């Protein structure tokens, strides 16, 4: 077998009529991979698919060569901290982690030894004997991480693992991810905000409306976003003259003059260069009345993804 | 992964689940159902015991009571038989001279109560009944067991326990923890079923034994020890076994129902209806029911009024009850079929808390 990967081939998942994810094809090598996208974009859907909690309507998924339909083997090498903030009634943190290990087939002593170790790793050993229901949000987040870590999995899937963590704990948690990744394991995590994860991730997968819109190393993804063609409608006096000036720029991919000669539709690959060019044109004495993004939604989405959106 | 590994895993799952079944708030009413038939038998026992102690000081020899004849006057009777344990006087008819005085006297001879009814001072009617009738009580128990315990208490108890094995965890949003364990879904199903079965059997076999014990409690010591030396232990065993068998069958049905449908009311009504009309179905269809097998395991047939309409009689007791061995095998076959269906659907089940 080649290098262990998580592979999605043409995977689609619908919840009845509602689209979960559509035509997803991905190869995720080991290391830290972040799924980034706004609410409802399909991050949790992808993770649930990987862990076999839901099944695809179309396409094939394998996790290090194993099918998510075979939990007996898959879950031996996989730990998944879900976004569901629930724990069985009345259990303590220690019980919670131990239970998972007992289910995995460890004896009582081994299970509690490992549970302690795992709770220590996430800095929760002091609260181990308290009820999970009485934990704070961040503590519940950490104890779920401890459950996912406890059996030392090869593949760690974490749905918004940094949510609700204070800066210190966050730094420790991130260190933990690096430690895992350095051992050739998979760490797949999700976030709403690219800035939160871009420096810590080996690769980033941007997802919106159930589709992968960019993936790769962080820098590559940033460039891909900058180069995503956006369209603008410009209202001005001498449309043809401005069209000619704009067309000289190499980031401009398309210029169309409106019939009334008072408007232009422009597509650019680089928004920053485009706004500089507009400034130069105005300074040169041409009147630009207004600039509006032609496709507000797509534009807003990309702005959101590259940062600032929170 | 060996079969032995999976068996052990199922057992681990059952153990972890068991605590939740026993202490779940959702199934606390199951205990009430199991205890319910004990209530009338306990009441009956207390009543008998109280009467016995109340009557103890006023026992009248049976021979004296035998000798009293219809036509005797109340004064004569009071003179020969002494003070009764209970007395009641009342008048009926128009006011004044024309009304008739009635008088009821009850005597106790140590075992039987004698009811004497006088009109205008003359004994009109004499009847005697034992204070407690073992034979009768056992029939009543058989009736309560068949018509209430098996058909309703065990039925709804299993609904409470087994529907919640999956449905309850979906409501609590904790089902995914089980699905994230390195266990096959069938193993998980088996473990959960086992946990439900252990809990339900313990609760309902104990409930049956307890009410049986309470039924026996006030009985005459001599009769009782004869009963224990003869068919007693066997009866107790079969009542407990029938209750357990009910849990095996209904448990599998409700486990499957909990996987297939969201609302417990619908399967409850459908299954209750199906089991209810079982007696009037063609013989071939009767075999696809839990009750058909389970009710034939009870040691004595329930009392049935010969005057009851034929339809009721049919509904209440199968025309052609299977032998014990056939009943056990049939029940296991039905259970295996239902569990197989459940194991198919547990493969397909997805974590979908939002919309459930
Ligand atoms: N159980 C469900 N039933 C119906 N639709 C669902 C269900 N779960 C998810 N969806 C839909 O699928 C899409 C993707 O949802 P998903 O939960 O994967 O998004 P997400 O990226 O994890 O969002 P968030 O950041 O809010 O967690 C959304 O449109 C959502 O409405
Ligand atoms: Mg999500």
pLDDT surpassing 60 at residue A136:
yes
Q: What is the pLDDT of residues A216-274, one digit of tens each?
A: 877 666 666 666 667 788 888 888 888 888 888 888 877 888 777 788 888 887 878 88
Q: Between these two residues, A284 and A152, which has the higher pLDDT value?
A: A152
pLDDT at A139 over 80: yes
**What residues of chain A have any CB closer than 8 angstroms to a CB in chain B?**
15, 48, 51-55, 69-76, 78, 80, 82, 84, 86-90, 99-100, 102-105, 147
Report in angstroms the alpha-carbon separations of A224 from A116, A227, B225: 44, 5, 91
- Of A230, A245, A231, A310, which Cα lies nearest the Cα of A283? A245
User: Is pLDDT at A74 greater than 60 in this prediction?
Assistant: yes
pLDDT above 90 as % of chain A: 51
Counts for chain B of helices (H) and strands (E), in that order: 16, 4
A232 forms beta bridges with A266, A293
Query: In chain A, what are the domains?
Result: 5-216 (3.40.50.300), 227-309 (3.30.70.100)
**ipTM of the complex, rounded to two decimals:** 0.77
For the cut 80, the answer to whether the pLDDT of residue B306 exceeds it is no
B353/A75 Cβ within 8 A: no
Task: Determine which of A266-280, A296-310, B157-171, B277-291 has the lowest per-residue pLDDT on average.
Answer: A296-310
Higher-confidence position of B197 and B63 = B197
* The two three-digit tokens of residue B304, written as one number: 């049935």
What per-residue confidence (pLDDT) applies to A309?
39
How does residue B257 score in pLDDT terms, banded at 50, 70 and 90?
very high
Q: Which domains does chain B have, with CATH numbers?
A: 3-46+133-355 (no CATH), 55-130 (3.30.1450.10)
Flag whether pLDDT at B238 surpasses 80. yes
- B183 CB neighbours in chain A (<8 A) are 71-72, 75, 103
CA distance A32 to chain B (A): 21
> Distance between CA atoms of B243 and B153, rounded to whole angstroms?
10
Q: How far is A102 from chain B (nearest CA, A)?
A: 7
The predicted structure's pLDDT at residue B24: 79
Pair A188, A156: CB distance under 8 Å: yes
Query: Probe ligand 1: pick from A41, A56, A84, max atoms within 8 Å of CB?
Result: A41
Q: From B11, which residue of chain A is nearest by alpha-carbon distance? A: A103
Instruction: Give the whole-angstrom CA distance, residue A50 versus residue A63.
Output: 7
Per DSSP bridges, beta strands B112-119 and B100-108 are antiparallel
Tell me which ligand sits closest to the C-alpha of residue B350.
1
Q: Ligand 1: which of A11, A20, A193 to mutate, judged by most atoms within 8 Å of the beta carbon?
A: A20
- Whether A298 has a pLDDT exceeding 60, the answer reads no
User: Which pTM was predicted?
Assistant: 0.82
pLDDT recorded at residue A229 = 67
Say how many Å lie between the CA of residue B23 and the centre of ligand 1: 34
Please give the residue of chain B at the shortest CA–CA distance from A68.
Answer: B180
A241 alpha carbon, distance to own chain's centre: 43
| CB distance B114 to B107 below 8 Å | yes
Ligand nearest to the CA of A42: 1
Q: What is the 3-state secondary structure (H, E, C) of A46-64?
A: HHHHHHCCCCCCEEEEEEC
Query: Which of A267-276, B10-19, B285-294 has the highest average model confidence (pLDDT)?
Result: B10-19
* Among protein residues, the one whose CA lies closest to atom 12 of ligand 1: A20
CA–CA distance, B235 with B248 (Å, rounded to integer) = 20
| Bridge partner residues of B87 (DSSP) | B105
Of the candidates B271, B277, B215, B202, the residue with the CA atom closest to the CA atom of residue B243: B202
Q: How confident is the model at residue A51 (pLDDT cuts 50, 70, 90)?
A: very high
Is residue B316 scored above 80 in pLDDT? Answer: no
Least confident span in A151-155, B15-19, B284-288? B284-288
d(CA A55, CA B287): 37
């Amino acid at each position: 077998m080649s290098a262990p990967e998580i592979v999605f081939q043409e995977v689609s998942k619908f919840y009845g009529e509602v689209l979960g994810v559509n035509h997803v094809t991905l190869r995720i090598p080991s290391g830290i991979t972040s799924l980034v996208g706004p609410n409802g974009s399909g991050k949790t859907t992808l993770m649930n698919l990987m862990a076999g909690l839901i099944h695809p309507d179309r396409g094939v998924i394998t996790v290090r060569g194993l099918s998510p339909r075979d939990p007996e083997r898959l879950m031996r090498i996989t730990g998944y901290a879900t976004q569901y903030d629930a724990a069985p009634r009345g259990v303590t943190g220690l019980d919670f982690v131990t239970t998972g290990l007992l289910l995995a087939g460890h004896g009582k002593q081994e299970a509690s030894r490992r549970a302690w170790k795992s709770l220590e790793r996430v800095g929760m050993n002091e609260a181990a004997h308290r009820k999970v229901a009485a934990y704070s949000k961040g503590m519940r987040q950490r104890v779920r991480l401890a459950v996912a870590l406890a059996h030392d999995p090869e593949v760690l899937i974490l749905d918004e693992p940094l949510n609700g963590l204070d800066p210190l704990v966050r730094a420790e948690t991130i260190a933990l991810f690096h430690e895992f990744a350095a051992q050739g394991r998979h760490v797949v995590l999700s976030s709403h905000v690219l800035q939160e994860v871009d420096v810590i991730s080996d690769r980033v997968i941007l997802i919106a409306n159930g589709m992968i819109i960019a993936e790769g190393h962080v820098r590559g993804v940033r460039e891909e976003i900058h180069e995503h063609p956006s369209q603008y409608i410009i209202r001005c006096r001498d449309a043809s003259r401005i069209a000619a000036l704009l067309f000289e720029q190499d980031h401009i991919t398309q210029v169309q003059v409106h019939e009334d000669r008072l408007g232009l539709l422009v597509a650019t690959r680089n928004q920053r260069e485009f706004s500089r060019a507009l400034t130069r044109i105005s300074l040169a004495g041409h009147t630009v009345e207004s600039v509006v993004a032609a496709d507000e939604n797509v534009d807003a989405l990309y702005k959101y993804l590259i940062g600032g959106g929170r | 992964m060996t079969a032995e590994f999976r068996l052990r895993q199922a057992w681990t799952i059952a153990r972890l689940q068991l605590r939740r079944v026993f202490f779940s708030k959702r199934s606390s009413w199951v205990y009430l159902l199991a205890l319910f038939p004990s209530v009338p038998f306990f009441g009956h026992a207390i009543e008998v015991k109280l009467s016995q102690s109340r009557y103890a000081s006023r026992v009248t020899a049976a021979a004296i009571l035998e000798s009293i004849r219809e036509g005797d006057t109340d004064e004569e009777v009071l003179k020969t038989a002494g003070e009764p344990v209970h007395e009641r006087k009342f008048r009926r008819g128009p006011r004044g001279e024309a009304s008739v005085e009635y008088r009821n006297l009850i005597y106790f001879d140590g075992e039987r109560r004698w009811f004497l009814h006088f009109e205008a001072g003359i004994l009109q009617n004499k009847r005697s009944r034992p204070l407690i009738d073992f034979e009768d009580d056992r029939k009543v128990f058989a009736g309560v067991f068949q018509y209430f315990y098996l058909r309703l208490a065990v039925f709804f108890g299993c609904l409470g326990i087994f529907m919640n094995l999956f449905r309850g965890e979906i409501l609590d949003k904790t089902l995914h923890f089980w699905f994230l364990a390195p266990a096959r879904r069938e193993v998980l199903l088996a473990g959960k079923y086992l946990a439900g079965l252990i809990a339900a059997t313990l609760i309902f076999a104990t409930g049956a034994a307890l009410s049986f014990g309470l039924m026996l409690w006030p009985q005459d010591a001599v009769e009782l020890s004869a009963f224990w030396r003869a068919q007693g232990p066997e009866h107790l065993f079969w009542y407990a076994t029938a209750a357990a068998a009910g849990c095996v069958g209904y448990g599998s049905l409700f486990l499957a129902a909990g996987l297939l449908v969201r609302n417990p009311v619908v399967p409850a009504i459908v299954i209750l209806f199906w089991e209810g009309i079982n007696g009037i179905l063609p013989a071939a269809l009767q075999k696809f029911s839990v009750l058909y097998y389970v009710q034939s395991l009870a040691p004595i047939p329930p009392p049935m009024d010969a005057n009851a309409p034929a339809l009721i009689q049919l509904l209440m007791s199968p025309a052609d009850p299977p032998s014990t061995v056939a009943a056990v095998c049939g029940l296991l076959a039905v259970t295996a079929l239902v569990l197989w269906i459940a194991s198919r659907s547990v493969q397909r089940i997805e974590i979908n808390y939002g919309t459930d």
